[in-house]
Amino acid sequence: MFQAFLILFISILSVTMLYPFLHVTSISLSTPTEALRQGFHFYPKEITFNAWERVLQSNTVWMTMGNTVFRTVVGTVLTIIFLSIGAYPLSKKYLPHRNAFMMIIIVTMFFGGGLIPTYMLIKGLGLINSMWVYVVPGLVSTFSLIVLRNFFMSIPEELEDSAKMDGANEFRVLFSIIIPLSKPVLATLALWSAVGHWNAWFDSMLYIQDQSKIVLQLFLRRLVIANEGDPMLPVPSIEQTPETVKAAIIIFTALPILVVYPFLQRYFVKGVMIGSLKG
Amino acid sequence: MEAAHMAQAQNVKRSRWRDNLRQYKKHKYLLLMLMPVMVWYFIFAYGPMYGIQLAFKDYNFADGIWGSPWAGFKHFIYLFTASPDFLNILKNTVIISFYHIIFGFPAPIILALLFNEIRVSVFKKVAQTISYLPHFLSWIVIGGILVTILSPSTGVVNHLLQLVGIDPIYFLGSEKYFRFTLVLSGIWKEVGWGTIIYLAALAGIDQQMYEAAVIDGANRWKQTLHITIPTIMPVIAILLIMRVGGVLDAGFDQVLTLYSPAVYAVSDIIDTYVYRIGLQNFQFSLTTAVGLFKNVVGLLLVLFTNYIIKKMGQEGLY
Amino acid sequence: MKQLSRGWIGTLALVLCASLIMSACSSGNGNGGAATNAPKNSPEASAPAKDEAPIEIVWANNFNSPEEDGNYVQTEIEKKFNVKIKNVKLERGTWREQFSVLLASGDIPDIFPVDANETDMALWADQNVIASLDQDEVKSHMPKAAAAIAEVDEGAWGVGIYKGKNWGIPKLWPNGLSGFLPGYNEAWLKNVGYDAPPTTLEELEDVLTKFVNEDPDRNGAKDTYGMSARGKLPIQMFTSVFAAYGVSPYQFKLDDAGQVVWGGITEETREALALLNSWYKKGIIHPEFITSDNGELNTAFVNQKIGVIDNAGWGNFNKLSGYISKPADDVGINYIPGKPLIGPAGQMNAFTYGARQAPVLLGKQLEKDEKKRHKIYEILEWVATDKEGYFLTAWGQEGVSYDMEGDFVVGRTEEEVGATKLGYGYFYNPLGHIDTSKDIHKTHPDDLERKALLNEGVISLVDVLGPAVMETKSQYWANLTTLQDTFIIKAVTGEANTEGDFDKFKESWLRAGGQAVIDEANAIYKERQQ
């Protein structure tokens, strides 16, 4: 039966995809000796929480995570708002100068000034060392904007017509009709934005000098790269980060994002366009 | 005679202006909505854009971007001629990228469709969540695991191959198999995450259409062909157009982690090559030039694909 | 169509507008880089000596950047020298991007990051970003440092010379003069009949062959190899063998006529490759060396797949060393050192990276600011050679972040007194390694003993130039390295032979810019000799 083969195939695929995660988790819970053992690591032979303790007990981890949470939440919410109010007008063929607007936007996907001019701009705007540098410069993702716009274009106009005939203006239409119909796509774009914010570290490194405002990823990167240098040194006076701690860091970073799937489930409601397509 | 024509022209101009104003008034809410976004683009996307001239200049800190001397196409020429292998590097980039697009673009679509067919709800949710996992691990982590499992002597993959009578293959060390390994592992890593947007599109399909089709006697395969795929076509189309813009990005992180001098000949891409040249220098002009080159090529391909897609009846980029 | 072209024109107009406006807004401090390093936050900084106002020093570094300003070490230095330090804290790994935007906005520090290399030096010298320093002045203001340098490598003074001027204060890494020593699995050696590590190349070959054929790990299976190599970093591959021939394919050396030649195209390399190829054919070399990095080598040794490691130095034979020693110890393997093998070169050669590094660079503005310049010399000398300054910047505060065990320093590991909290760990001591008299504090007496023992009689194979700015390098180096990396690996596996193919390689290498590089190397060598 098709279902049987399907489930078998997906199972095999899932196992391969699950393995690296198990591998790293297992190492994070292993003793340093065990961590170096060649071969598979499905589960730790002896569980030790040392590595996790080091990660979780660090004050800096929690402080920087607070910053990351701020940027993820505020950044994603603002992004979704901007994407919506940007994509909707662009999806209407009767928008004046629509092509010009599209050109302006598309050009930015391919041409950009680079590191130095961007830094100068951020500096000129006074965003250096400000938490807002995490949110504002990255507000609009052109890729997402275009995806959303094209999605809006596939929503039949008839759905708006009745509301418009009742005298609703475009804001109304956008918020009460279009957005509810776009929940799955918006949820996806929100997810992309959130993951982007969660994993970002480069802007933190470049624009933030105040160490209390850096993001989690930057701090964790430092731990992983820290003092990685000359293997020829005898016992280094400043401890190198052991493999087990590096493993714990990797899992720690990825975990919160995985909690997202249940979130997605709520918005991927099937059949939201019931009755929308006729014949 | 002339005066009459001029007057006519004036009238036409004035009425065009008036038409425009009328349009602006009519759609004032739309324009209003759009303004914040356009302001953002103006400031953050166009503000720094003058930096592109760096590709044509010899940048030095003292003169800044505006003051640095012009260098014409010097950096592009350097990029193309500094290495006798550049043609090969370009070839690698294009080949690897095309493999990624040809096999890697449809993969999430197919997987999304397969996920859609699973009827055991719990299994479906678990499998989907697991499929996102590889996306969250960096290539450094996955690379290490790959080296181990693909080892010709101790790796499990070759172990399995031997069970079916095939000799061990040095996947990561042989020129013959490296690209294949690269592309396959790349697809494997991203396919799950890539399904999300398609699942979102699938969620929007009217269930009643399926019910109607069943009544008409269509089996699942026909339903997929005539209902599912056409409905998610707009999403597929726009994603494909934008995907081809990255044709000269062949996956820097992945290649850097997995390649070695033994396989440079088949896997050295533009980005890894630039990385090796630029490693020692603060070569802004060169990096800007390389970026510009990649983007121009990408743009051309995007415009071309956009044209084709529109000819096929779908909405394109503009 | 008209709509479209109007669209394009409109776009262009907008682009121009936006860019001009934005760049005007933000480029206020973007130009005239070198001269604008007026410290922005301390108006008293350039006050004359009369009222002894503290001099402000902008201190940039990327190693162990302290978390906070006003940390313990910083304040101690400020008190002692009557200076105010403005920290520029950079990331270890990605400091270049951070630093470049700072330079671009005209914020040129007084002291530059310690990881800057000679290419950076040349670039910045050309762009008037760093100061040229008079070597005699440096020597007279930093006599102890100069003496320390003279003890290790007087030639270090040549590294900073570019376009006829000197561009920094010489920096050394003396440990770089200790070379790679082969290390063995002791049990394996015993099992194949060797009570002590091999001393000659022939003995090594015998040992390796036996490692393959005589089941040294006694597990009943023929699953072992003699040695592997770090295929991902070719300069470290098979150093024990190349050294026995008196060469490193990745170093400049002097030939019999006193000319500088490139190791990779010499006859010694050819012969060494021929030997390695024969070993590969015999199955002595693990074929997966191609994709191996240190991690894989570590794993292979610990899991008893190979019995020899030849890219480790004396420090790695401390039982707590994370590379090989400790992991091996944890599973009961005794990793013991051997002396470099004697081969056709007739002596115990060890590949070393050499002690020379790019010098510590100072900002351009210091060419004119003599007072600050001298102050910096004073501080750097104090932290690098004076016991009090050294201990402060290397380890922090006694009784708080470290304790003494005789002469040896034992650091405390609590997070609150960590390096980045107190400011120690060499951030304020970029010349921190030049003074070998501090070794007794840095290195445990046992390790010092081990070092002396292991390095006894060993001749270091050092690159005859060390870091050197070469115009030809920036042009050709990446390709030459790729060419060589690829060939060497093919020569070992046999895909390329060491007769005709080697000649072809040599020719391509020379043609692809190698000849120009060698010529320039010779010129630099002569220049430095003066």
User: Other CB atoms closer than 10 Å to residue C3's CB: what's the count?
Assistant: 10
CA distance A139 to A189: 12
Does A238 touch chain B if contact means CB atoms closer than 8 Å? no
Does C64 touch chain A if contact means CB atoms closer than 8 Å? yes
- Give me the torsion for CA of A58, A59, A61, A63, rounded to 10°: 180
Q: Give the chain C residue nearest A105 (alpha carbons).
A: C11
CA distance B227 to A273: 14
Q: List the chains bordering chain B where 3 or more Cβ pairs fall under 8 Å.
A: A, C
Q: What's the pLDDT score for residue C8?
A: 53
Does A6 touch chain B if contact means CB atoms closer than 8 Å? yes
* Min distance B294 CA to chain A CA atoms (Å): 9
CA distance C171 to C159: 9
Query: What's the pLDDT band for B279 if we cut at 50, 70, 90?
Result: low
Q: How far is CA C434 from CA C149, C169, C465, in A?
A: 6, 11, 18
**Residue A274 reports pLDDT greater than 90:** no
Q: What is the mean pLDDT of chain B?
A: 89
CA distance C260 to C526: 10
Helix (H, G, I), strand (E, B) or coil at C207: helix
* Min distance A124 CA to chain C CA atoms (Å): 4
The closest CB to that of B29, out of A90, A101, A171, belongs to A171
* Structure tokens belonging to residue B258: 């997995």
CB contact under 8 A, C291 and B284: no
Query: What's the pLDDT band for B254 if we cut at 50, 70, 90?
Result: very high
The set of residues, in sequence order, having a beta carbon less than 8 Å from that of A153 and lying 6+ positions away, is: A91, B234, B315
CB contact under 8 A, C97 and A206: yes
CB contact under 8 A, A232 and C302: no
Q: What's the pLDDT score for residue A227?
A: 52
Mean pLDDT to the nearest integer, B22-42: 91
Does A176 touch chain B if contact means CB atoms closer than 8 Å? no
Closest by CA position to C124, among listed C304, C384, C361: C361
CB contact under 8 A, B62 and C127: yes
* Structure tokens belonging to residue C215: 């089941």
DSSP state of B71: -
Query: What's the pLDDT band for A38 if we cut at 50, 70, 90?
Result: low
Q: List the chains bordering chain A where 3 or more Cβ pairs fall under 8 Å.
A: B, C
- Residues of chain A with Cβ-Cβ distance to C26 below 8 Å are 117, 120-121, 123-125
Question: What would the pLDDT profile of B284-294 be if each residue is shown by its tens digit?
Answer: 788 888 989 99
CA distance B58 to C176: 36
**Residue A14 reports pLDDT greater than 70:** yes
Region of B2 please: left (phi>0), alpha (psi -120 to 50) or beta: alpha
* Min distance C186 CA to chain A CA atoms (Å): 20
Mean pLDDT to the nearest integer, A71-84: 96
Residues linked to residue B166 through DSSP beta bridges, in sequence order? none
Q: What's the pLDDT score for residue A170?
A: 84
CB contact under 8 A, C7 and A97: yes
CB contact under 8 A, C120 and B83: no
Q: What's the pLDDT score for residue A250?
A: 87
Residue of A233, A244, A245 to mutate when probing chain C, most C C-beta within 10 A: A233
CB contact under 8 A, C26 and A121: yes
The closest CB to that of C315, out of A102, A107, A232, belongs to A232
C50 or B224: which leads in pLDDT? B224
Q: Give the chain C residue nearest B174 (alpha carbons).
A: C290
Q: Give the chain A residue nearest C4 (alpha carbons).
A: A99
Mean pLDDT to the nearest integer, B227-233: 88
- Residues of chain C with Cβ-Cβ distance to A36 below 8 Å are 298-299, 302, 327, 330
**Residue B225 reports pLDDT greater than 90:** no
Does A224 touch chain C if contact means CB atoms closer than 8 Å? no
Closest by CA position to C22, among listed A125, B53, B35: A125
Closest by CA position to A192, among listed B185, B135, B105, B134: B135
The closest CB to that of B315, out of A150, A187, A257, belongs to A150
Can you give the pLDDT of all 530 residues of chain C as single tens digits? Answer: 444 445 455 555 555 555 556 555 444 443 333 333 333 443 444 444 445 789 999 999 998 899 889 999 999 999 999 999 999 999 888 898 889 889 988 889 999 999 998 888 988 998 899 999 999 999 999 999 999 999 999 889 999 999 889 999 999 999 899 999 999 999 999 999 999 999 999 999 999 999 999 999 998 888 899 999 999 999 999 999 999 999 999 999 999 999 999 999 999 999 999 999 999 999 999 999 999 988 889 989 998 999 999 999 898 998 888 788 988 988 899 999 999 999 999 999 999 999 999 999 999 999 999 999 999 999 999 999 999 999 999 999 999 999 999 899 998 888 788 888 899 989 999 999 999 999 999 888 998 999 999 999 999 999 999 898 888 887 788 889 999 999 999 999 999 999 999 999 999 999 999 999 999 999 999 888 87
**Residue labelled with tokens 């779908």:** B314
Does B45 touch chain A if contact means CB atoms closer than 8 Å? yes
Mode of pairing for the β-strands spanning C260-262 and C252-254: antiparallel
Q: Which domains does chain C have, with CATH numbers?
A: 6-174+357-438 (3.40.190.10), 181-351+470-529 (3.40.190.10)
Query: What's the pLDDT band for A204 if we cut at 50, 70, 90?
Result: very high
Instruction: Provide the sign of the torsion angle of the four alpha carbons B314, B317, C5, C7, taken in this order.
Output: positive
Does A121 touch chain C if contact means CB atoms closer than 8 Å? yes
Residue environment code for A70-83, b if the CB has 16+ CB neighbours within 10 A, otherwise e: bbbeebbebbbebb
Does A43 touch chain B if contact means CB atoms closer than 8 Å? no
CB contact under 8 A, A140 and B38: no
The closest CB to that of C119, out of B43, B46, B281, belongs to B281
Residue type, C479: N
Gyration radius of chain B's alpha carbons = 26
- Residues of chain C with Cβ-Cβ distance to A232 below 8 Å are 175, 178, 312-316, 323
Q: Give the chain B residue nearest A267 (alpha carbons).
A: B200
Query: What's the pLDDT band for A249 if we cut at 50, 70, 90?
Result: confident
Q: Please check whether residue B305 is in contact with residue B296, taking contact to mean a CB–CB distance below 8 angstroms.
A: no
CA distance C84 to C76: 11
Helix (H) or strand (E) holding C309: strand C308-312
Q: How many residues does chain A have?
A: 279
pTM, two decimals, is 0.87
* Min distance A231 CA to chain B CA atoms (Å): 19
ipTM of the complex, rounded to two decimals:
0.89
User: Three-state secondary structure along C218-263?
Assistant: CCCCCCCCCECCCCCCHHHCCHHHHHHCCCCCCCEEECCCCCEEEH
Q: Please check whether residue B179 is in contact with residue B171, taking contact to mean a CB–CB distance below 8 angstroms.
A: no
Q: What's the pLDDT score for residue C48?
A: 43
Q: Chain A neighbours among C 330-349 (CB < 8 Å)? A: 330-331
CB contact under 8 A, C34 and B151: no
CB contact under 8 A, A211 and C68: yes
CA distance C394 to C432: 8
CB contact under 8 A, A235 and C321: yes
Q: What's the pLDDT score for residue A60?
A: 84
- Residues of chain A with Cβ-Cβ distance to B44 below 8 Å are 121, 136-137, 139
The closest CB to that of C290, out of B173, B265, B280, belongs to B173
- Residues of chain B with Cβ-Cβ distance to C21 below 8 Å are 47
CB contact under 8 A, C489 and B47: no
**Residue A276 reports pLDDT greater than 80:** no
User: Other CB atoms closer than 10 Å to residue B110's CB: what's the count?
Assistant: 12
Q: Please check whether residue A273 is in contact with residue B206, taking contact to mean a CB–CB distance below 8 angstroms.
A: yes
Does C113 touch chain B if contact means CB atoms closer than 8 Å? no
* Min distance A52 CA to chain C CA atoms (Å): 15
Gyration radius of chain C's alpha carbons = 27
Q: Give the chain A residue nearest B111 (alpha carbons).
A: A10
Q: What's the pLDDT score for residue C403?
A: 92
Q: What's the pLDDT score for residue C422?
A: 92
What C439-446 contacts at long range (C-beta under 8 Å, 24+ apart), as own/partner pairs, is C440/C407, C440/C408, C441/C390, C441/C391, C441/C394, C441/C407, C441/C408, C441/C409, C442/A237, C442/C394, C442/C409, C443/A234, C443/C408, C444/A234, C444/A235, C444/C408, C445/C406, C445/C407, C445/C408, C446/C318
User: Three-state secondary structure along chain A?
Assistant: CHHHHHHHHHHHHHHHHHHHHHHHHHHHCCCHHHHCCCCCCCCCCCCCCHHHHHHHCCHHHHHHHHHHHHHHHHHHHHHHHHHHHHHHHHCCCCCCCHHHHHHHHHHHHHCCCCHHHHHHHHHHCCCCCCHHHHCCCCCCCHHHHHHHHHHHHCCCCHHHHHHHHCCCCHHHHHHHHHHHHCHHHHHHHHHHHHHHHHHCCHHHHHHCCCHHHCCHHHHHHHHHHCCCCCCCCCCCCCCCCCHHHHHHHHHHHHHHHHCHHHHHHHHCCCCCCCCCCCC
CA distance C405 to C395: 14
C97 or B189: which leads in pLDDT? B189
CA distance C33 to B295: 30
Does C32 touch chain B if contact means CB atoms closer than 8 Å? yes
Does C82 touch chain B if contact means CB atoms closer than 8 Å? no
Q: How many CA atoms lie within 13 A of A146 on its CB side?
A: 25
